[in-house]
Chain A
């Protein structure tokens, strides 16, 4: 028989029970709170979460999973994912999880409604209860559509830039902060004659000679300071050939402002350089050739004078002493010899005068054109008077020229105008007009004029439009005019029609020191 418990005993048990109830209640609260917390995590997870049983039937899922699936809960819960999986890889990943391993899946998923295509990444893992009971598996789903799209966009962009860089006609080079080449495009490989892997990983200076290394070192120092201005450098190709290039660099700095190397666009200017050099060489050759030609003309005309003088003097002496004392043939022969010698003497004199234009070392100075014109008129005064000619002029500027040559220019043009006069007394008018940055002078006459067909020919040395009997002269005057004008950097031309007079134009570029007085 058990003894009837005492009051104290009962009181103690009541207390124990109350304590137990309280503890249970607290534990229940704790469990509830924990469950609530996990439920919150489950519901608000940024990942879609599902729980499926050992057959693949979805037992539970969170709302985010429904969003990803694009389907209502009632269509999802109870759905057998293993049986219905359209993607074999997804099925494999789920079976793998059920067998106790972690299953991974990544792939496209078309929503149940069919109007949304997403890219999913999923991880599946088997779940066992605390007591070891097999509870199926859990799957975490991430919608990586945007990530995929961004990746794709990046890849496309990269592809675009790569094809641009790989096909561009300029070389491209990337080097790091230690001046080691990290990238070159095919064009640069071609430019230098190396394979890509012969360049990448090597310092830039490996591809330069001593002289150009100095240039590069200076430039690298500037690059570190952020300077990005282009410069010229000459690379040494694999075959030892030189490649002149314009470098257009762009320094690279990281987020903290540390120098991380640079991109450089390298433009091959070797052929341009060669063309420039060839052009300069041709210009030099031409200048030298011209100089030699002038020298030749001068020397020839000067040195030929002596023997010609002998020929001319002695045939003249023959004529003087023996005319009429030999026979008629001899007289005629001698006369032809004398005339030929005289003509040649005139031509040589003219050639000498022509070659002396610009040889006398006259310096350029500011010249009053009117003064030069008056000198010229002084020299043709007799001719003007004999022909009853009138020479008039507008106000004339001062120009930078050789005074003597300018006077000779007017003298020849006025002389020409009087020589080719018409029946009417010669009227000659000189005017000047400023056009752009040069003075255009004109000398107009009322003479016989000429056919425009000959307007270039008349400036060629020894070219004449008329028979020697009608108008004397060797045809040097206008050639000298042309040379004088061209020596000043100007142009000369003529306009005329037969019977309507002629107008000769020439330009003198405006230089400092000249102007309207």
Chain B
């Protein structure tokens, strides 16, 4: 409770097609200390539509943080990441890439796509909670919202 309850909830976009992981993320965030609004899209194309407020996402809230799975239907995480980082408007949104193995991190790093953070999806729930907490820490300590909308 480092911040008061008046703090505006953090807007998080989770790009993940596995409902099990979606639910785990929700459960993990529930145990966290930060008030958040989690939006979930299931593939890369949806994610970009959401971020660019296209189609049914015209009223989408701009996320403060993106949690991006790598293996996605239609457009995979690598493509989504490179499009986000190529977009003047979106590139400042911090992206945490969720990978299922160290090998994927290695490959992704080789692409130099400028993800802000890589997190291997842990099998251990305690680790997962730790990851969520680290995302929160990351949020509070590292991320300074560029548009000054936060209360930093």
A residues near B (Cβ < 8 Å) are 302, 305-306, 308-310, 312-314, 316-317, 319-320, 341-342, 345, 352, 356, 360
Q: Which of these binds chain A: B2-10, B51-59, B123-131?
A: B123-131
State how many angstroms separate the Cβ of A311 from the closest Cβ of chain B.
9
State how many angstroms separate the Cβ of A59 from the closest Cβ of chain B.
121
A352 to B101, CA, bound (A): 10
B152 sits at the interface (CB 8 A): no
A345 to B127, CA, bound (A): 13
A313 touching B24 in the complex, CB below 8 Å, given contacts A306-B18, A320-B125, A345-B123: yes
B103 sits at the interface (CB 8 A): yes
A310 to B25, CA, bound (A): 12
Q: List 14 A-B contacts (CB under 8 A).
A: A305-B123, A310-B18, A312-B124, A313-B24, A316-B126, A317-B27, A317-B125, A319-B125, A320-B125, A342-B124, A345-B123, A352-B103, A356-B103, A360-B106
B121 sits at the interface (CB 8 A): yes
Q: Is the beta-carbon distance between A312 and B27 smaller than 8 angstroms? A: no
State how many angstroms separate the Cβ of A408 from the closest Cβ of chain B.
13
A313 touching B20 in the complex, CB below 8 Å, given contacts A302-B101, A356-B103: yes
- Give the residues in chain B near A345, CB-CB below 8 Å: 123-124
Number of CB contacts from chain A to chain B under 8 A: 42
A320 to B30, CA, bound (A): 13
Q: Is the beta-carbon distance between A313 and B100 smaller than 8 angstroms? A: no
Count contacts on B: residues with CB < 8 A to the other chain: 15
- Give the residues in chain A near B101, CB-CB below 8 Å: 302, 305, 352
Q: Is the beta-carbon distance between B123 and A341 smaller than 8 angstroms? A: yes
A310 nearest in chain B by CB position: B20
- Give the residues in chain A near B20, CB-CB below 8 Å: 310, 313-314
A317 touching B100 in the complex, CB below 8 Å, given contacts A305-B123, A342-B123, A342-B124: no
- Give the residues in chain B near A312, CB-CB below 8 Å: 123-125
State how many angstroms separate the Cβ of B15 from the closest Cβ of chain A.
16
A313 touching B18 in the complex, CB below 8 Å, given contacts A302-B101, A305-B101, A345-B123: no
B71 nearest in chain A by CB position: A306
A309 to B122, CA, bound (A): 7
A306 to B106, CA, bound (A): 18
- Give the residues in chain A near B18, CB-CB below 8 Å: 306, 310
Q: Is the beta-carbon distance between A309 and B103 smaller than 8 angstroms? A: no
